[in-house]
Structure 1
Amino acid sequence: MVLHNRLSATELKARLASETFRRVTVSFYQYAKIADPQLFRDELYQALFQIQVFGRIYVAHEGINAQVSIPEHHFEAFKQHLYSIPFLNGIRLNVAVDDNGKSFWVLKIKVREKIVADGITDPAFDMDNRGKYLNAREFNELTEDPDTVIIDMRNHYEYEVGHFDKALEVPSDTFREQLPMAVDMMASHKDKNIIMYCTGGIRCEKASAYMLHRGFKNVFHLEGGIIEYANKAKEWGLPNKFRGKNFVFDERLGERISEEIISQCHQCGEPCDTHTNCANEGCHLLFIQCEKCAAKYNGCCSEACTEVLALPEEEQAELRKGVDKGLMLFNKRKRRLRK
């Protein structure tokens, strides 16, 4: 019985590179009661391992959150297995907009306390009392109403490379920081239509429930998030109100929704929306870097990291020992990027 990966990262990446078939990147989530998350996790791992699914899945008592890469020839088998699980029967699958088939190279399924870390401790909070869904057409129509406020429930680095027209940023590194900030920001707008959105729907769905819990009335959230919106806008011939790139949490680090580039390289300031991690493994900072600066700094975030990268691997490993990188994200407000 296989319940965990046993190959090295090098072997896994080589295996992916050697594949001759196409893969499809899909995300889905469902808030549901799972009595035994560990048992559910183990059974799901066995089923997905058999059909060569890669990806990242979180399972908790409150439900499941998944981003996966599926061999195209196993897609129907994947759907059939999901739909055989009662609370996942008919679940919407968000198919990636801009997919190179290399989004994931290993399958990881983890049991967590929650599928979205929210910081909510109030036992009276009811996830079943959530905002109203809006599809792409309804979203476009309601955003034309002057009594509507749009809130982006993603992190600051996601908002930076792409967002909807007129959407408000809740500037933070994490979702748990955002929830109380969003309530404070909207304190004087309780009579407005409040639309919340995120990448695939999971965060804005919980955020809409939290806003209702805090006394807001007209709360909506975008069904399927940015991914579903982009697909439906194209399918239905709707105006695309999303500008730029949609950040995603896999090897791609983004999928293009519109041709606009609304952000800048964090090193030289030129128009750019390509996220990367600093090539110095002891740093691994997530930041935006253009091709020119990538060549200049050898994929690093600073001259200091470029110098470290030039050292023998043994010396780099010594420097990494005992280093706690924490949450390594470039924040233009905190200026964590070194020169």
Structure 2
Amino acid sequence: MKKFLFNRYDKETLKKKVLEDKRERRVISFYRYVKITDPIAFRDVLYDSLEDLGVLGRIYLANEGINAQFSIPIGNYDALRKFVDFIPELKNIYFNDAVEDKKESFIKLAIKVRKKIVADGLDDSQFDPSNVGTHLSPLEFHQALEEDGVIVVDLRNNYESEVGHFENAILPDVGTFREELPLVEQILEKDKDKKILLYCTGGIRCEKASAYLKYKGFEKVHQLQGGIINYAKAVTDHGLKSKFKGKNFVFDDRLGERITDDVLTVCYTCGNPSDRHTNCANLGCHVLIVQCESCSEKLLGTCSEECKEIVSLPEETQKKLRQEQRKQQKYPTHHLTRKLVGK
């Protein structure tokens, strides 16, 4: 019988299946820049075996490599290691285990073939992406942070760094990695001879960024091996005080791992201290915001009174609004609401 190499269930069914599965799960991420000649065939091999192992999550493949974030039943962890090491392109790839495990972090397995495993906006033919910066272990990075004159750069988006970052780090105010590299180059223009420490969530963005900065003439580029995830585990294991403060934003349903008790930002709605990320419950908006539980309760999980008004409407009316919105992108959702409900 032929297996389906894609998900066949709706979201509610998937959530139910995950919650009914009593097995504990481990959240893992890994990446590697490596030549994959046929990503589509590679995808089919991965999907078939990973589904059998109970893997749920997102994996991106491209000719340049693999970028994976997923969860797996803990009992299948060793089997996953053996399977991955059997594949030449993935042999001995580093598993970055999450700081926190949440059962419903992922509800399905999706393996997608893309042009790039990270949207960086770079033309790789212009430089050598394999000529990366010096990798520092978490403990080496921890020590390097104390050196005089060192420059620390956060290579994540602004919505990630606002809830957690290393002390004294440069936090570029951008919403995408594509925008970030030119800005970082501009910010560091006069510091090409200084020691630069790069960090990101799990390390993948630092790989490409460090190679790009070296190509642009920066002499002392270093990067945190395994990113914030690896650092958080290492300082905990060694009883050290974390120099990363707050939460580490993650791209699954958790939206964050607590590293320290520091709260570095405020609720977008009321201005009180909060680092609770959530997406607006109005699917026609779905904007990512920081919002405290009190405001979320008052606004029914939405970002504004306008969106609260929308989610209070019958589901069929909401669907019509979203359809209308797709046709008329120039109009904000709340404008269409007034139009359709006669306000």
Deviations 1:14-73 (A, max 9, x none): 101111110000000001000001110111000101111100000000100000110111
Q: Is contact 1:131–1:212 with CA below 8 Å preserved after alignment?
A: yes
Structure 2 equivalent of residue 37 of structure 1 = 39
Q: Is contact 2:202–2:229 with CA below 8 Å preserved after alignment?
A: yes
Structure 2 equivalent of residue 232 of structure 1 = 234
Structure 2 equivalent of residue 314 of structure 1 = 316
Q: Which one is further off, 116-125 or 19-28?
A: 116-125
- Distance (whole Å) between structure 1 residues aligned to residue 94 and residue 324 of structure 2: 43
* Structure 1 residue 142, shift from structure 2 partner: 1.2
Structure 1 equivalent of residue 127 of structure 2 = 125
- Distance (whole Å) between structure 2 residues aligned to residue 321 and residue 179 of structure 1: 36
Whether 2:219 is the aligned partner of 1:217: answer yes
* Structure 1 residue 237, shift from structure 2 partner: 2.4
* Structure 1 residue 323, shift from structure 2 partner: 2.7
- SS of the aligned residue for 1:245 comes to strand
- SS of the aligned residue for 1:151 comes to strand
Structure possessing the higher radius of gyration over alpha carbons: 2
Q: Is contact 1:99–1:255 with CA below 8 Å preserved after alignment?
A: no
Deviations 1:167-212 (A, max 9, x none): 1011111001001111001001111101110000000111111100
Q: Is contact 2:28–2:71 with CA below 8 Å preserved after alignment?
A: yes
- Distance (whole Å) between structure 1 residues aligned to residue 188 and residue 115 of structure 2: 29
Structure 2 equivalent of residue 335 of structure 1 = none
Corresponding letter in the other structure for 2:24: R
Within a 5 Å distance, the mapping from 1:12-27 to structure 2 comes to: 12-27=14-29
Corresponding letter in the other structure for 1:161: V
Structure 2 equivalent of residue 336 of structure 1 = none
Q: Is contact 2:18–2:103 with CA below 8 Å preserved after alignment?
A: no
Unaligned runs of at least 5 residues, structure 1:
329-339
Within a 5 Å distance, the mapping from 1:294-305 to structure 2 comes to: 294-305=296-307
Structure 1 equivalent of residue 163 of structure 2 = 161
- SS of the aligned residue for 2:246 comes to strand
- SS of the aligned residue for 1:123 comes to helix
Structure 1 equivalent of residue 193 of structure 2 = 191
Q: Is contact 1:137–1:238 with CA below 8 Å preserved after alignment?
A: no
- Distance (whole Å) between structure 2 residues aligned to residue 141 and residue 74 of structure 1: 36
- SS of the aligned residue for 2:325 comes to coil
Whether 2:256 is the aligned partner of 1:254: answer yes
- SS of the aligned residue for 1:109 comes to strand
* Structure 1 residue 295, shift from structure 2 partner: 1.1
- Distance (whole Å) between structure 1 residues aligned to residue 124 and residue 312 of structure 2: 51
Corresponding letter in the other structure for 2:210: S
Q: Is contact 2:268–2:291 with CA below 8 Å preserved after alignment?
A: yes
- SS of the aligned residue for 1:294 comes to helix
**Identity %, equivalent residues:** 49
* Structure 1 residue 160, shift from structure 2 partner: 0.3
Within a 5 Å distance, the mapping from 1:1-339 to structure 2 comes to: 1-121=3-123, 123-324=125-326
- Distance (whole Å) between structure 1 residues aligned to residue 293 and residue 36 of structure 2: 46
TM-score of the superposition, structure 1-length normalised?
0.94
* Structure 1 residue 140, shift from structure 2 partner: 1.5
Structure 1 equivalent of residue 338 of structure 2 = none
- SS of the aligned residue for 1:318 comes to helix
Aligned residues: 327
- Distance (whole Å) between structure 1 residues aligned to residue 221 and residue 325 of structure 2: 43
- SS of the aligned residue for 2:125 comes to coil
Q: Which one is further off, 195-204 or 92-101?
A: 92-101
Corresponding letter in the other structure for 1:296: K
- Distance (whole Å) between structure 2 residues aligned to residue 91 and residue 233 of structure 1: 22
Deviations 1:131-182 (A, max 9, x none): 0001111112111112210000000000000000011011111001001111
Corresponding letter in the other structure for 1:222: L
TM-score of the superposition, structure 2-length normalised?
0.93
Q: Which one is further off, 112-121 or 137-146?
A: 137-146
- SS of the aligned residue for 1:133 comes to strand
Q: Is contact 1:253–1:276 with CA below 8 Å preserved after alignment?
A: yes
- Distance (whole Å) between structure 1 residues aligned to residue 150 and residue 12 of structure 2: 49
Cα RMSD after superposing both structures: 1.4
- SS of the aligned residue for 2:122 comes to coil
Q: Is contact 2:62–2:113 with CA below 8 Å preserved after alignment?
A: yes
